[in-house]
Structure 1
């Protein structure tokens, strides 16, 4: 109160006093009008609604590297947070790591139905104290910004093709061009400035009528849409995610895609699902022309198992296929095994590695090991000796016409 009167006597206005003391003009007028009033001390700060969640937010940002405030905000609401997002952003901002600088680039927009960009990302998770990883396949349509994400155990060419098939099915059609970087599953090498494509990948792209394109070396900005999408998946979906197995993880990824694709995009200012209707995508191939690309060759072990994605699947019946090559087709979580154009059987794919799934009829006609060991043992035959007649020596002499020798007397 004394300070207010002192500043007032120095000729300062009510507004100047309020600004200097950081109080309202009403408060200044109150104490100038009533000198007997005692200026109360500053009010104690009200407890923040975010305060009970500070420790959890810090763990998400510093340990799980989740810095997307919209994602954190949704998680906090599920935990009972009733505050706003602005105070959350103020708390998270100093916890974020410094962002490295980027070179300026010119944005390139594609025409509707013209281009899809795709790429891989490595996603680390912890299992029983051990760090492991999955590979995340991310695809985005250049015009509508529709995004697709799926997680797999490997990133070889057959898996890449299956992921592309899933992405095209999710989008509802094919684009004219597919752009990615120079991964070995796509491009083997450049010979005199001409691409030497991976044969299996080239067969797939030619058959479905999509032209493959690769970026120039060390210029990932060329496919900046999918580069940013991979980064967004890591910071938005992956950071702090919990899942029981690969199937559960992909269910969450599909739900995330549905949610992201219905939000207004920051660049286009339109929801991707609404812009998708403007993309004249080409129709998908039908039947065998499409399904044949989901097939891989596998060799049957001598005990009647086929190994696929770290899981052993037993084959039914006799082991006539042991040591031979069969075809394994994976589509929509189901494995189908073929041999010489005939379907052997189908089985639901197991999401966890290191499993063994024997078939109930796997060894029904196979003899036991002990029987197999007894069979090749050599066998001999014991016969009785022939009967021999006893004859005197004189009979043999007669047959030989030998005269008996006369004994000479002395």
Structure 2
């Protein structure tokens, strides 16, 4: 004989189903319907497809208080200052920060959660960068000038910390940028970077502007002055360019 099964009511389904999170505006509507229109808890639970306990929490203003934080949220709050510092060390990139947190703390934080948590840090970093980069724009004619410089960054390559040097060139009029990575910034790397920029931009500028980098400079002992070294000067003459050197960070 098959056993009889009790019919399942709609309220039982609400009680047993997955919990539904109500936002602030929905909770305000529930309160208004209860206080102004006199709707009961059972009716509201049916209308909004939630449990009666959820409706009760909305009405007695304990809904938010009773919500428990996830382990990941508790971890982020507990290590607030440390993660903030790590975010700055990763230059505002959450993907490598997520990987570092997993390696150091054995916590796998979701990328979207981490991005939301770091949003205030991102705004602060953006404001700092805007103030640091604020400068007077130096205007040139099209094709007149290309500025060249090097930056450097320590990266982990093959589980080994390696310093990478980035040749960067920028056109004075359009502000278009070309960059290429090297393991050093010797004269050969400079010349290869400049020539690669010519191919990338599809032409030659009239003037090359660099700072007083030692890889490009030599000393004229007769005149007791510092000038471009023989290799760089030969490169400039070969392409028929004019070269200008400036103080560091003041092109």
TM-score interval, normalised by the smaller of the two chains: 0.5 to 0.7
Unmatched segments (≥5 aa) in structure 2: 1-23, 41-55, 100-109
Cα displacement (A) at 1:29:
3.2
* Whole-angstrom CA distance in 2 between matches of 1:127 and 1:86: 26
Cα displacement (A) at 1:190:
9.2
Cα displacement (A) at 1:157:
1.4
| Aligned with 1:207 (options 211, 227, 238) | 238
* Whole-angstrom CA distance in 2 between matches of 1:97 and 1:104: 12
Q: Is the 8 A contact 2:145 2:173 kept in 1?
A: yes
Are residue 32 (structure 1) and residue 29 (structure 2) matched?
A: no
* Whole-angstrom CA distance in 2 between matches of 1:193 and 1:109: 34
Cα displacement (A) at 1:202:
0.9
Q: Is the 8 A contact 1:61 1:92 kept in 2?
A: no
Q: Is the 8 A contact 2:154 2:162 kept in 1?
A: yes
Cα displacement (A) at 1:206:
1.5
Q: Is the 8 A contact 1:61 1:67 kept in 2?
A: no
Residue 18 of structure 2 corresponds to: none
Cα displacement (A) at 1:63:
7.3
Q: Is the alpha carbon distance of 1:67 and 1:124 closer, same or farther for their aligned partners in structure 2, counting shifts above 3 Å?
A: closer
Q: Is the 8 A contact 1:138 1:149 kept in 2?
A: yes
Unmatched segments (≥5 aa) in structure 1: 1-20, 223-410
Report how many residues are paired.
193
Are residue 42 (structure 1) and residue 66 (structure 2) matched?
A: no
1:8-407 paired onto structure 2 within 5 Å: 26-27=29-30, 29-34=32-37, 39-40=59-60, 41-43=62-64, 62=86, 65-68=89-92, 72=95, 87=116, 90=119, 92-93=121-122, 99=128, 102=132, 105-126=135-156, 130-188=160-218, 196-215=227-246, 217-218=247-248, 220-222=249-251
Q: CA RMSD in A?
A: 4.9
Return the structure number with greater relative CO, CA threshold 8 A, min gap 6. Answer: 1
* Whole-angstrom CA distance in 2 between matches of 1:141 and 1:193: 33
Larger Rg: 1
Q: Is the 8 A contact 2:84 2:118 kept in 1?
A: no
SS of structure 2 residue aligned to 1:185? helix
TM-score (norm 1): 0.36
Q: Is the 8 A contact 1:120 1:136 kept in 2?
A: yes
Deviation string, structure 1 residues 205-254 (Cα, Å, up to 9, x no partner):
12102211122x35x143xxxxxxxxxxxxxxxxxxxxxxxxxxxxxxxx
* Whole-angstrom CA distance in 1 between matches of 2:126 and 2:200: 35
Q: Is the alpha carbon distance of 1:47 and 1:142 closer, same or farther for their aligned partners in structure 2, counting shifts above 3 Å?
A: farther
* Whole-angstrom CA distance in 2 between matches of 1:29 and 1:62: 45
Q: Is the 8 A contact 2:148 2:167 kept in 1?
A: yes
SS of structure 1 residue aligned to 2:204? coil
Cα displacement (A) at 1:145:
2.7
Q: Is the alpha carbon distance of 1:107 and 1:190 closer, same or farther for their aligned partners in structure 2, counting shifts above 3 Å?
A: farther
Comparing both structures, which one devotes a greater share of its residues to helix?
2
Q: Is the alpha carbon distance of 1:95 and 1:59 closer, same or farther for their aligned partners in structure 2, counting shifts above 3 Å?
A: farther
TM-score (norm 2): 0.55
* Whole-angstrom CA distance in 2 between matches of 1:104 and 1:95: 16
Cα displacement (A) at 1:203:
1.1
* Whole-angstrom CA distance in 1 between matches of 2:159 and 2:114: 33
* Whole-angstrom CA distance in 1 between matches of 2:115 and 2:156: 32
Deviation string, structure 1 residues 168-192 (Cα, Å, up to 9, x no partner):
1111111111111101222336999
